[in-house]
Amino acid sequence: MARNNLAAAHIELGNLDSAEGELKKAISLDPQFPIPYHNLASLQAGRGAEAEAERLLTVAAEKGFKQSLDDRVIEKVSKAYAALQSAPMR
């Protein structure tokens, strides 16, 4: 849980690579804890890595994670933002 929380702090500071590393460490320390999978999925969705995000969301759900309405809204906003970031400027 501590690594997951550290990752959240890195995300707030914009240190996405560090956040990803902490989430992967959290998963390796407790592979049955679903929250780091979900958070890593959100990070990947924000980066536009849709297939990896979907895979991680599936793993999180298999491990017992249940998305709240807020989580689903945040996920959709992250995906929309990623799409805007990759769209060509006019």
What is the pTM assigned to this prediction?
A: 0.74
Q: What is the per-residue pLDDT across 23-76, written as a single tens digit (0 to 9) for each?
A: 999 999 999 999 999 999 999 988 989 999 999 999 999 999 987 767 667 777
Report residue 7's pLDDT band, with 50, 70 and 90 as the boundaries: very high
Report residue 11's pLDDT band, with 50, 70 and 90 as the boundaries: confident
Instruction: Please name each of the domains of the chain with its CATH number.
Output: 2-86 (1.25.40.10)
Measured distance CA(7)–CA(20) in Å, rounded: 7
Report residue 1's pLDDT band, with 50, 70 and 90 as the boundaries: confident
* Neighbour count for residue 44 (Cβ, 10 Å): 22
Contact 3, 23 (CB under 8 A): yes
Contact 34, 64 (CB under 8 A): yes
Q: Which two tokens stand for residue 27?
A: 């998963």
What integer pLDDT is reported at residue 90 of this predicted model?
65
Measured distance CA(82)–CA(50) in Å, rounded: 10
Q: What is the per-residue pLDDT across 72-81, written as a single tens digit (0 to 9) for each?
A: 677 777 777 7
